[in-house]
Amino acid sequence: MHLLRLNLAVAASGFRRYATYRVATVAGVFTNTVFGFILAYTFIALWYERPQLGGYDQSQALTFVWIGQAMLATAALMGGGFQDEFHERVRNGDVAIDLYRPVDLQLWWFASDLGRAAFQLLGRGLVPMAVGAFAFELTLPSSPTVWLLFLCAVFLAVVVSFALRYLFALCGFWLLDAAGLGALSTLMSVFFSGMLLPLTVFPGAFGEVVLWLPWAATLQVPADVLLGESGGGGLAGLGFQLAWAVVLLVAGRLLQAAATSKVVVQGG
Amino acid sequence: MQEDAGGAVRDTDGAFIDVTDLRKTFSVRRRSGLLRRTSTEVHAVDGISFTLRRGEMTGFIGPNGAGKSTTIKMLTGILSPSGGRLRVAGVDPARDRTRLVRRIGVVFGQRTTLWWDLPLRDSYGLVRRMYRIPRARYEENLARCVELLELGGLLDVPVRQLSLGQRMRGDITAALLHDPDVLYLDEPTIGLDVVSKARVREFLLHLNAERGTTVLLTTHDLSDIEHLCERVVVIDHGRLMYDGALAGLHEVGRGERTLVVDLERELPPIEGIAGARTVRTEGPRQWLTFPATASAAPLVSRIAADYPLVDLSLREPAIEDVIARMYAA
């Protein structure tokens, strides 16, 4: 009960911290929308040449674009969020403060990242999606059940994204300056989440493999759940996400134990 | 012997913090060739022993890199010692960090425990949740700190907009909301102006007197120690150099105070006063040094009697000089 209240408070603070920067949010919405239009016209050109590419019709492909824009900040597909902050705290030694607190490091950052994601979904997710739906003919489900499943998939996408970024961030304890690793993490995320192109369009063995990587859980799966392309009425997708979430969070715990036991607090 | 709410025995022999032959060794890798790296051992803390009684306010001083912060990090449990024995309130900090954490407060002068983007009040709310501080006690502690540290108008200001002095007072408050038995302060007055410094010092004296909080204070500012601590522990190169009263430190380090006198006119250097010597003259102004353990009163009255004295001022020895002289001795 105490733990729940603490983590709700942490999540609320994460929400408020992002809500403080209104101009940044407006700028973000604008960027997402512009980026959405560019991708949308690229996809229109692609699907005009190759209808049914990746198993989607053109309207589904456009829906995929705008889901991607809504998820970009929410699931921190292009990095950022707690990851930069955590890197910085490890690099300059402020992590010492986090370590002497009576809280679990992973749970703390998880709660604060969920708070951030909740704000980004409302602040930077809804508007680009609405603009996309207004400007293009999107394939959106009418069933509230599908929307509910989609919300679950978005939540799990945030969890998997957090768990992945936490693993990358923890490497900072060994590398001391993990900026390069952060860039790698972003690159992997942008490509393997399906943000550049839906993962289903890739042919052959590569196309098979990318669908099983954890990044698929951060955009490809939620999009398929909303588009009705995920098996078992969407439950297969959610199961896939849940499995990766558990595996990655446990890996994060193990790596965290190793990192903090050999911690060298830098500076001061 | 006292028992706390958890039923654990606090201290049996009066030693609230007990450090015996404490060591911390880091292995530092250096590049020694194109690809080759050699590993050297750095003894950051090299066999330190001291004990602190409950309610004691102690200065912990030494030059940069002496091992002060490393020792404090071991006392809080975030670094585990490479050797020796360490007990805080009867608990091994590295092993029982979570049990100890509610009993200690830490202020790192160069870091902040507050959330940059949030108002002070929100940071304190998070601290309350973290430490499970009952609402009434939290309100009471916050009100006391706000009053004594004059934070009244600042609670709704985001931390990033606070001045250094305001932020430091905010940090001290955050470290005390859960009523810690011991407070570690790592350079709490660094970069503060005279007024902020005075306010922080006054608050610490009050805290120590009213609540009996044990305080361990590291600083470079010897006047902090003079105002606050009866006892100083000096370390350098990871070793204990001195442990005792501040006055005794001057004796050991042969610390010297400087008397600056302004005479009516330029005169030859003042001579023939036992225990003092003139080290510099500049027009009508002369600098005399004398042992820090001696009183300035007889010296001043001798000069006033024999010379046309206009004005005078007294300078205390700098900690760096005292330590440097300890080495030379």
- Summarised one tens digit per residue, pLDDT across range A26-53 is 999 999 999 999 999 999 999 999 999 9
Percent of chain B with pLDDT over 70: 93
pLDDT score for A97: 84
Mind listing the pLDDT tens digit for each residue in B102-123? 889 999 888 888 888 889 999 9
Query: Looking at per-residue confidence, does B252 or A57 come out higher?
Result: A57
Range 128-147 of B in CB contact (< 8 A) with A: 129-132
pLDDT score for A266: 42
Tell whether A262 lies on the interface with B, counting CB pairs under 8 A. no
Other C-beta atoms within 10 Å of B150: how many? 14
Query: Looking at per-residue confidence, does A21 or B322 come out higher?
Result: A21
Average pLDDT over residues B161-171: 90
What ipTM was estimated for this complex?
A: 0.80
Chain B residues close to A93, C-beta within 8 Å: 111
DSSP-assigned letters across all residues of B69-131: HHHHHHHHTSS--SEEEEEETTB-TTTSHHHHGGGEEEEETTS--S-TTSBHHHHHHHHHHHH
Question: What is the 3 state secondary structure string of chain A?
Answer: CHHHHHHHHHHHHHHHHHHCCHHHHHHHHHHHHHHHHHHHHHHHHHHHHCCCHHHCCHHHHHHHHHHHHHHHHHCCCCCCCHHHHHHHHHHHCCHHHHHHCCCCHHHHHHHHHHHHHHHHHHHHHHHHHHHHHHHCCCCCCCCHHHHHHHHHHHHHHHHHHHHHHHHHHHCHHHHCCCHHHHHHHHHHHHHHCCCCCCHHHCCHHHHHHHCCCHHHHHCHHHHHHHHCCCCHHHHHHHHHHHHHHHHHHHHHHHHHHHHHHCCCCCCC
Task: With CB atoms and an 8 Å threshold, state whether B115 touches A13.
Answer: yes
- The full set of domain ranges for chain A reads 2-260
Rounded to whole angstroms, the Cα distance separating A101 from A126 reads: 36
pTM as predicted: 0.81
Query: Looking at per-residue confidence, does B222 or B198 come out higher?
Result: B198
Other C-beta atoms within 10 Å of B126: how many? 23
- Which residue of A9, A17, A96 is in closest CB contact with B117? A17
Task: With CB atoms and an 8 Å threshold, state whether B115 touches A17.
Answer: yes
Query: Looking at per-residue confidence, does B295 or A238 come out higher?
Result: A238
Range 33-62 of B in CB contact (< 8 A) with A: none
Task: With CB atoms and an 8 Å threshold, state whether A13 touches B113.
Answer: no
pLDDT score for B11: 43
Find all residues with CB under 8 Å of B271, minimum gap 6, and list them: B278
CB A85 within 8 A of CB A71: no
Tell whether B126 lies on the interface with A, counting CB pairs under 8 A. yes
Mind listing the pLDDT tens digit for each residue in B119-146? 999 999 999 999 999 999 999 999 999 9
